[in-house]
Structure 1
C-alpha cells in the first residue's frame, strides 16, 4: 500500500497528521495532533482560499466596486462586504 506524506499547513509537521472524516462535499479532512488544526487538500469554497482576502483589499484600493469584485472573483457580495468590513479590525 502506498503512503503519502501530508504536512500540516500551519506548523509543517508530517508525523502527527491523521485523517479526520470528510467534508460535506466528500473531500478528505485532516487533523494535526501537534497544533490541533484541521484542513482539507481540495478547497470548494472560493472565499476561503489563501490570498482571497488580500485580492479583495487590493481590488478595493484600485477602485473596483464591490459588485464587480464579487462577479470577477466568483464569490457572493456579502463575502466581499464582510472582508472589507473586517479589514479595519485586523490592523
Structure 2
C-alpha cells in the first residue's frame, strides 16, 4: 500500500475518491485472506480432533499446533484481559 499524504491541520483536503477506493479494496482483500486463514485453521483443528493419531498427543498441544502464533497471542490477550477485569472487580468490592 503506498504511503498516504500526511495531513497537517487545515491544509489537508481529505482523500481522493481513488485513494478511498484503493483503501477499501485493500482492506477487503486483507479481510478475505484473514477469513481464509481462519477457515483453514478451523479445518486443521477439526482434523486434529478426529484424526487417526487420536490418543498419542495431548488435545491442547494439537489445538495450539493448528493455530498460528498470532491467533494464540490474541486468545492469550483476550483471556488475560478477562481475568484481569475479574480480579479488578473483586478487589474493588
User: Please, what TM-score do these two structures have when normalized by structure 2?
Assistant: 0.31
User: Please, what TM-score do these two structures have when normalized by structure 1?
Assistant: 0.31
Q: Bigger relative contact order, structure 1 or 2, given CA contacts below 8 A and separation 6+? A: 2
Query: Whose Rg is larger?
Result: 2
Indicate the structure with greater strand content. Answer: 1
